[in-house]
Amino acid sequence: MEYVRAGAEPRWGFADGLQIGLAPLPGPRGLLRVYAPYLGHGPLRVVNFIAVEPTPVGATERGFSELEWSALDGERGKRMGSAAAPTDAFGPLSPGVVEPSGELTVYVPVERFDNGAHVYVRLRFRPDRPYAVAVAGFHHPDSVPLARLTLTATMGNWARLRRLHLASGPVTPAELWPGFTGDRFTAHARFGLDALGRDADGAVVVSATTDEAAPTTVAYAEGTAPHWHYEGRTAVQTWRAADPDPDLEVLVNGRACYWASQSPIPGGVSFENFEFGAAYRPGQEYEFSVEPS
């Protein structure tokens, strides 16, 4: 398996599979960029982002890695880096480490959040899972205690994900938030462990897909920014938990308009944020995959 390992740009993953990138590649800072070039995307087309959102013990609000301002340079979005081992330093780009198993491992330090959370993320790419990355969150010793450390896929609207596949079958935004309009987020819908499906290995698996047969052919409202226009093949976006905690749940919210715009999403509300939620456990690993459909 050939890997991409932070050569000319901050990007890691499979040469012919899923890749993760960081700023200054295009897009908001403070987000992991998810690339799926095997869907027929250009080299800078992001299929989704993953945000880092820690909640301290006793708090009701999360930190937001892409929305908070950096204390290091005054720019929006917490700074993220890369390293071959856990660190809180932002050094030169690291190629990561290829383990004896053939896995590629990269650590991503994240600038301290305004709420006192100080965390980092581990990325693992397995040779037998070319369309997936395993992500796990950890805290540094000087972090405030954490109740949760959410790693959320934040851009389901681009693929217009409208089917959330649970153990009992798919649910849709129209069922969850009937009549929702406007340019804000819906409330989160939550589904506990009993509602979630399992794969043959017993891992919890929850997928989201579009309900459109040909998403590249839809008509967009006048003024919709070109970067919201879908391109390439359709895919199944999935979170997988091999070792789920008893309190594990899936959370989704939706939007009727594309982010930071008044442009309506063709076909109505679609899912935007898509995540696992559970009490914080250092090193709890979840796999995010984007598989061709």
Percent of the chain with pLDDT over 90: 99
Environment class of 271 (CB within 10 Å of its CB; exposed 0-12, middle 13-18, buried 19+): buried
* Cβ within 8 Å of residue 272, ≥6 positions away: 154, 155, 156, 157, 185, 252, 253, 254, 255, 259
Are 35 and 12 a contacting pair, CB within 8 Å? no
Enumerate the H helices of 138-208 as residue ranges.
156-159, 173-176
Phi, psi of 275 (to 5 degrees): -155, 160
Mean local confidence (pLDDT), 134-152: 98
Confidence check: pLDDT of 188 > 90: yes
Question: Domain residue spans in the chain?
Answer: 1-154, 160-293
CA distance to 97, 191, 216, per residue, from 33 (Å): 20, 26, 21
Confidence check: pLDDT of 289 > 80: yes
Environment class of 80 (CB within 10 Å of its CB; exposed 0-12, middle 13-18, buried 19+): buried
Confidence check: pLDDT of 130 > 80: yes
Phi, psi of 176 (to 5 degrees): -80, -35
**Which tokens in the block code for residue 47?**
């299929």
Distance CA 31, CA 23 (A): 8
- 195-245 residue pLDDT tens: 999 999 999 999 999 999 999 999 999 999 999 999 999 999 999 999 999
* Cβ within 8 Å of residue 178, ≥6 positions away: none
Mean local confidence (pLDDT), 268-280: 98
pTM of the model: 0.98
Please compute Rg for the chain using Cα positions: 18
Mean local confidence (pLDDT), 254-275: 98
Confidence check: pLDDT of 163 > 80: yes
- 46-96 residue pLDDT tens: 999 999 999 999 999 999 999 999 999 999 999 999 999 999 999 999 999
